[in-house]
């Protein structure tokens, strides 16, 4: 059994490569390193069951040999990245998804799309079930990511309906853990890095907005189960534990024992006010639910950043 994972050198992609290798698959990893990092996969390079291809999936994509699965995880995913790279973000979600689906069709492979809670936009239904169609500003700064992923979902369903490709769509909620970049820009990594450096924690807005944070191992287990299930409709995979950004800041300060204070910054445009997955479907269909609390996940993530920060220049907030 052999799978292609696009975005293999990214935070999630690299964990997913390991999961599939552990599960007995041969893995072909693909990345163009626009946000992925060679360090994330260097330990896999010597293995006979792992092959790496440096390639932009937005361009014509072909892989020699059989493939039973294509998992499309390539995309900038941090707001600061997709704001800096709006066109590559739109292209990998649209053209890249098309190329990856075309390859899955040609190989008779199952296809799994990494979608996102951002398809719900700034939600008016809370928590968000898969049946909610969302509340997205297509022309705002986040539209480049949100609409690319919405298009990717539509394209995935079209390949399923028109070409009979066996497809899966996972809607991923805010995920954190080892292998995030210090400069990733997302809230968990920013706060930990700032706390460890004794810098003020950059809270956007009044910090009253909420997110639900999933530890990477839980997410990867959910994706593994979804891939091996027969569920075609989109599926939320996320931890329903909901926290305000301010609560997260206080928790990170307490856990790191940092003397950092809080600095308030303007809220980015269209920043969703609330976010929490309804995981009724994942529980029922995949028998999945998260097992790692935010408290425990932070305990596993902080040591990774402590080590990473030795010798890394300051991050942006």
Alpha helices, H only, the chain: 11-22, 79-84, 86-91, 97-107, 143-163, 187-197, 216-227, 245-256, 280-281, 294-308
Positions in the binding site for ligand UDP (CB under 6 A): 79, 174, 186-187, 190, 202-204, 209, 211, 245, 267-268, 271, 317
**Is 160 or 211 the residue whose CB approaches ligand UDP more closely?**
211
Q: Which is nearer to ligand UDP, 36 or 272 (CB)?
A: 272
Q: How far apart are CA 117 and CA 186, in angstroms?
A: 15
d(CA 238, CA 211) in angstroms, rounded, equals 10
**Cα Rg, the chain, nearest whole Å:** 19
Cβ atoms of residues 13 and 74 within 8 Å: yes
In angstroms, what is the minimal distance from the CB of 308 to ligand UDP? 17
Kindly name the residue from 145, 159, 176, 215 that is annotated as catalytic: 145
Q: Closest approach of Cβ 271 to ligand UDP, in Å?
A: 5
Residue 176 is among the residues annotated as catalytic for this protein? no
* Closer residue to ligand UDP, CB minimum distance, 4 or 201: 201
Nearest to 16 by CA among 285, 186, 226: 226
Q: Which residues of 227-243 are buried (b: 16+ CB within 10 A; e: fewer)?
A: beeebeebbbbbbbbbb
How near is the Cβ of 253 to ligand UDP at its closest, in Å? 13
Least distance from ligand UDP to the Cβ atom of residue 126, Å: 14
| Nearer Cβ to ligand UDP (68/140) | 140
Closest approach of ligand UDP to the CB of residue 275, in Å? 6
What SS3 class is residue 167? strand
Which residue has 């993530």 as its token pair? 301
Q: How far apart are CA 231 and CA 132, in angstroms?
A: 17
Our CB check for ligand UDP shows the closer of 88 and 272 to be: 272
Among 236, 237, 229, smallest CA distance to 291 is for 237
- Catalytically active residues are 145
């Amino acid at each position: 059994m052999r799978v292609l994972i696009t975005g293999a050198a990214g935070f999630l992609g690299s964990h997913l490569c390991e999961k599939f290798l552990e599960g007995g698959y041969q893995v072909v990893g693909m990345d163009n390193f626009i946000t992925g990092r060679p360090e994330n996969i260097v330990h896999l390079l010597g293995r006979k069951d792992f092959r790496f291809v440096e390639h932009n999936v937005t361009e014509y994509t072909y892989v020699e040999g059989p493939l039973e699965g294509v998992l499309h995880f390539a995309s900038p995913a941090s707001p600061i990245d997709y704001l800096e790279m709006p066109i590559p973000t739109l292209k990998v979600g649209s053209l890249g998804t098309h190329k990856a689906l075309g390859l899955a069709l040609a190989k008779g492979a199952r296809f799994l799309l990494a979608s996102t809670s951002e398809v719900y936009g700034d939600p008016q239904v809370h928590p968000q079930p898969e049946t909610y169609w969302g509340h997205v500003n297509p022309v705002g700064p986040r539209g480049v990511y949100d609409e690319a992923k919405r298009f990717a979902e539509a394209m995935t369903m079209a390949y399923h309906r028109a070409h009979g490709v066996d497809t899966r769509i996972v809607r991923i909620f805010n995920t954190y853990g080892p292998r995030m970049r210090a400069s990733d820009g997302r809230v968990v990594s920013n706060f930990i890095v700032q706390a460890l450096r004794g810098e003020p924690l950059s809270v956007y807005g009044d910090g009253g907005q909420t997110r639900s944070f999933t530890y990477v191992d839980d997410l990867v287990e959910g994706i593994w189960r979804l891939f091996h299930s027969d569920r075609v409709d989109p599926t939320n995979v996320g931890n329903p534990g909901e926290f305000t950004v301010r609560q997260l800041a206080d928790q990170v300060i307490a856990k790191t024992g940092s003397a950092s204070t809080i600095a308030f910054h303007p809220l980015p445009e269209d920043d969703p006010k609330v976010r929490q997955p309804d995981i009724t479907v994942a529980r029922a269909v995949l028998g999945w639910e998260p097992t790692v609390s935010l408290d425990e996940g932070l305990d596993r993530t902080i040591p990774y950043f402590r080590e990473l920060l030795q010798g890394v220049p300051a991050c942006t907030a």
